[in-house]
Chain A
Amino acid sequence: MYTFKQHSVLPGFNLALGFTLLYLSLIVLIPLSAAFVRTTALTWPEFWNAVTTPRVVASYRLTFGASFAAALVNAVFGLLVAWVLVRYRFPGKKMVDALVDLPFALPTAVAGIALTALYAGNGWIGQYFEPLGIKIAFTPIGVFVALTFIGLPFVVRTVQPVLEDIESELEEAAATLGANRLQTFLRVIFPTLLPALMTGFALAFARAIGEYGSVIFIAGNMPMVSEITPLLIITKLEQYDYAGATALAVVMLVISFVMLLIINLLQWWSRRRSVLA
């Protein structure tokens, strides 16, 4: 039989959930609903037209594609960085640990300007790619670079505390039972990290989808090629087309909501499986 909540001896559920819902409604949900309401000024065909012009579709492809690629790279390297920071000792480790948060603190516009300067054809990094025929700034690759920078702390910071919490007994037990280091990692450590890793991935991905400030500097903003969806929202606002702008916003919201939901469900499912197993 399904009930709303499974029984628990712990107190405070109603208070905690009540406050959570109230706060979330006031700060997030009610204002977001304003966007949905504004969209109703459009009829369905108008709405559909506004959100499916070729230019808009091209921007979805770039926004979601580059965000996904950036989040994936961050998942792999973020895990690596977290592992190195928690498990190993090396000179300058504290410093590195501190710097990981930088992309949060740096205003996105500054990040965009700094990255563009570095990855442009005459920049510190870009000059080494230019002779190879690889242009980074002002192309979709530039968008990917900016989004990777923006999402970098997420995976590291979600995996790190969980990794610190893993009891060494488990690993020792695995080793005693004859598992080599790789087996221990894959069978014992990785499954414990997986929920946090997926959270980090989801957050990095989600953050990248909406990013605006850093991307517009490095993207080049060529229609059909390197225009991100948030830029098109601005474009519509410039024409005082609030309904069209919110229509695009709603599409982005719905898509990223669904993706986040899927990832959360996957994570919930994987945790259940690991608990049952």
Chain B
Amino acid sequence: MTVIALPVSSLAHRARPTEEPVWVRWTLIGLALAFLTLFLFVPLISVFYEALKKGWAVYIAAITEPDAVSAIQLTLTAAAIAVPLNLIFGIAAAWAIAKFEFLGKNLLTTFIDLPFSVSPVVSGLIYVLVFGLQGWLGPWLAEHDIKVIFAVPGIVLATIFVTVPFIARELIPLMQSQGTEEEEAAVVLGARGWQILFRVTLPNVKWGLLYGTILCNARAMGEFGAVSVVSGHIRGSTNTLPLHVEILYNEYNFAAAFAVASLLAMLALVTLALKTLIESKNMQNDKGKNR
């Protein structure tokens, strides 16, 4: 944090005591933007640049051909199942961990973190070991003609696995930093469990919850490695958007590959735009109430 350290005391121009001087502010902004430019903006721009290199016609054709459409459909389905489930899990886990002290809490938190560090290669593999034809449940499933891996359920499972920690991990530090006083007050006032959750706790963490959900959703749609292992890569039926990108790329169809990739990038931007919209609406509502 030396960046912040240097200037403050020797400042001639007086800033307000809870604000940094203007030039410190702009240095920090500049640094942050420089970092983001190098690692984020330029890669993003290059994706759109490649996508539009051959013109709009190619772009539109790439994202409306039947295989791309079926990939979009599958990706949305997987996310629509994975995100709500992880949302419920995240709230339950954060409630238990942030509001209570119990033995083995750190262990539990670490287990929740684990899917982050499991290589996508491995997270796909473990489902193959469980549900594959040579795996634990495979022969039984085959007998009853139930398909898990190389079909939609496997893709959904892999997606859930990869995104398990997102919402929980977003909520835990936030709920911890807020403590338990408000909830305890609610109990004293006679509120029931669900009332506390919906009226006190969740409204307090709504931004964290929203962030977490958006991240979870973005990641669910973008997951590549794990899904690749359990998908079977059947064109038009078990290809998600990221896998479709890979296929196009491998067909030397670079413009189309980046077009589909940019679609995923835009999905993230759209959800973020929605978030901003909800945020500003809510702020107006809050003001209305206070008046």
A positions within 8 Å CB-CB of B: 2-6, 8-13, 15-17, 19-21, 23-24, 27-32, 34-35, 37-38, 77, 80-81, 83-85, 88, 90, 94, 96-111, 113-115, 117-118, 124-125, 145, 148-149, 152-153, 157-158, 160-162, 164-165, 168, 171-172, 175-176, 180-182, 184-186, 190, 192, 195-196, 199, 202-203, 205-207, 209-213, 229-230, 233-234, 237, 242, 245-246, 249, 252-253, 256-257, 260-261, 264-265, 268, 271
Contacts and interface: CB of A to CB of B under 8 A. Distances in A.
A179 B112 CA distance: 39
A238 B144 CA distance: 30
Most buried by B among A6, A19, A38, A176: A19
B33 interface: yes
B56 interface: no
- Majority secondary structure of chain B interface residues (helix, strand, loop or mixed): helix
Interface of B: 1, 3-5, 8-9, 15, 17-20, 25, 28-29, 31-33, 35-36, 38-44, 46-47, 50, 85, 88-89, 92-93, 95-96, 99-103, 105-123, 125-127, 129-130, 135-136, 157, 160-161, 164-165, 169-170, 172-174, 176-178, 180, 183-184, 187-188, 192-193, 196-197, 205, 207-208, 211, 214-215, 218-219, 221-225, 228, 241-242, 245-246, 249, 257-258, 261, 264-265, 267-269, 272-273, 276
10 shortest A-B CB distances, which residue pairs? Answer: A107-B242, A105-B268, A206-B117, A175-B17, A210-B119, A98-B272, A256-B117, A105-B218, A34-B129, A5-B102
Contacts, number: 347
A20 B92 contact: yes
B120 A124 contact: no
B169 A158 contact: yes
B32 to A, nearest CB: 4
B266 to A, nearest CB: 9
B15 to A, nearest CB: 8
15 contacts: A10-B187, A11-B196, A19-B89, A20-B89, A28-B161, A98-B276, A99-B41, A99-B44, A106-B222, A107-B264, A162-B174, A213-B228, A233-B121, A252-B119, A260-B114
Given A28-B164, A98-B273, A109-B242, A157 B44 contact: no
B106 A261 contact: yes
A253 B95 CA distance: 27
Given A106-B47, A149-B40, A175-B17, A16 B116 contact: no
A139 B187 CA distance: 58
